[in-house]
Amino acid sequence: MLKEALRFGDPDAKDILIQITGEQETDFLQKEFDQICALSGREDILLIAIPVSDWNMDLSPWEAPAVFGNEGFGGGAQKTLEELSGRIRTIRSEAAADAKLYLGGYSLAGLFALWAGTRMDAFEGIAAASPSVWFPGFTDYLKTHPVRAKYVYLSLGDREERTRHPVMRTVGDAIRETEEILKQQGIITELEWNPGNHFKEPDLRMAKGFARLPDGSQKRSE
């Protein structure tokens, strides 16, 4: 279930960044927005952050066993997507006719952003920062379900695959495969490697992706 959205920036912006978040991220969203403005050299943007109620349930595209602890993945992303579609209709009704929408997320929310990009064509670009592309079956899914956005930004920490955890250590190969799949589908794709593990500077990693989206998606039309 999606919670009440948090908004940062210009309400009349023509570039609207939509971020699916967990409650653990809401404390640094203002800092993230400030970094987006600094990195892009712009202030005429709007960030709409929409928290989910249940991270593992609401963002997983299908059911999967637990990776950490006992809580598995409930496969509730389709319901989340339906709610997001309703939010998007409202956002479009309030925005300028030529406004462009971009979707992003961190970790499992980054995986959701990529998956949502295969299900709807509302977004010019997608930013998936340190996305959970290790998720069982996801890269195979991408091969037959192309992302519909013009541009995709991917990132990963350079220490994320350096772990003894048998699932987590597959993330490096999975992000490289994801990049290759997207490029083969004709999508402009950028993969950036950041220093550190999965938990280092998530606000900056997300800001880097969002700062690139308008410029990256513009490349398709040049």
Q: How many residues does the chain have?
A: 222
Inside any domain, residue 120: yes
Whether 222 shows a pLDDT value over 50: the answer reads no
Residues in Cβ contact with 84 at an 8 Å cutoff, skipping those fewer than 6 apart: 2, 18, 20, 50, 116
> What pLDDT score was predicted for residue 109?
98
Residue type, 162: R
How many CB atoms neighbour CB 90 within 10 A?
10
Number of domains observed in the structure of the chain = 1
Determine, yes or no, domain membership for 109: yes
Q: Can you read off the two tokens belonging to residue 133?
A: 């592309």
pLDDT > 80? residue 218: no
* 222 domain-assigned: no
Considering the domain boundaries, does residue 216 fall inside one?
no
Q: Decide if 217 is inside a domain.
A: no
46 domain-assigned: yes
Does residue 90 have a pLDDT over 70? yes
CA of 86: how far to CAs of 45, 92, 94, 186, in Å? 21, 10, 13, 29
Q: Can you give the CATH number for the domain in which 24 is found?
A: 3.40.50.1820
pTM comes to 0.96
Amino acid at 17: L
Assess if residue 126 is contained within a domain. Answer: yes
Domain encompassing residue 32? 6-211
**Is residue 219 one of the residues assigned to a domain?**
no
